[in-house]
Amino acid sequence: MRVIGIAGSPRKNGNTAFLVGEALKECEKIGAETELVFLGDKKIEFCSGCGKCPPCPKDDDVQGVLEKMKSADGIIVGSPTYYGSMSGQLKTFFDRTHPLRRGGFLLKGKVGGVIAVGGSRNGGQEKVIEGIHSWMFIHDMVVVTDTETAHFGGIVQGRNLGDAEKDEWGMKTVRNLGRRVAEVAMQLKKT
């Protein structure tokens, strides 16, 4: 079983990457092989709506990430909250996943979970998660939540570097989400 995490933040060692990494650790405890993909290091051009995909004719780092997604059983996506929405890096990347849909719904049935971090307790994290869930639904993924705490996913408060780790309740939602993604992916793999 393979679960990849996508950190959709421009800050490589920021709260988002830390949180996605924590969720992946929970997946590893259940036996998953994991990988963290950091979008801030990737060259990601805007989708031009050319209609030539699949494959996408652009020559950047997107195709490599799409290949990782196709081989995964579960995908955990994390984003900081920017004005009540996901980061620009993540949205640009999502637009470029169109070849996976046009190529035969290649993410269909993969388990998806979402983590959002914002500068205040009610900083728009649920709106970020809603947007990412919409992307997952459009790809016909199986969307899970953190279950135990009845949230939409991992929701954390953290404005400055290192703040997220101090949010005990938020960390619980992230760890629960990671476990849930791995559990459901494992159940689906057995069927």
Which of 99, 164, 156, 162 lies closest to 128 in space, CA to CA? Answer: 156
Structure confidence at residue 150 (pLDDT): 62
Its domain, for residue 152, covers 2-190
pLDDT (tens digit, 0 to 9) for every residue of the chain, 191 residues total?
A: 999 999 999 998 899 999 999 999 999 999 999 999 999 999 999 999 999 999 999 999 999 999 999 999 999 999 999 999 999 999 999 999 999 999 999 999 999 999 999 999 889 999 999 999 999 999 999 999 988 776 899 999 999 999 999 999 999 999 999 999 999 999 998 88
Q: Which residues of 15-32 are buried (b: 16+ CB within 10 A; e: fewer)?
A: bbbbbbbbbbebbeebeb
Six token digits for residue 12: 């490589």
Q: What is the pTM of this model?
A: 0.97
The CA dihedral of 125, 128, 129, 133, to the nearest 10 degrees, is 170
Which of 1, 60, 16 lies closest to 160 in space, CA to CA? Answer: 16
CA separation, residue 163 to residues 117, 121, 128 (Å): 10, 12, 19
* Pairing between β-strand 154-157 and β-strand 111-118 as defined by DSSP bridges: parallel
Structure confidence at residue 146 (pLDDT): 87
Is 5:76 a contact under the CB 8 Å cutoff? Answer: yes
Structure confidence at residue 190 (pLDDT): 87
CATH of the domain at 31: 3.40.50.360
* Runs of H (alpha helix) within the chain: 15-29, 62-71, 88-95, 98-102, 125-138, 168-190
Structure confidence at residue 12 (pLDDT): 86
Structure confidence at residue 122 (pLDDT): 87
Structure confidence at residue 149 (pLDDT): 75
* Pairing between β-strand 33-38 and β-strand 111-118 as defined by DSSP bridges: unpaired
**How many folded domains does the chain comprise?**
1
Phi, psi of 157 (to 5 degrees): -100, 130
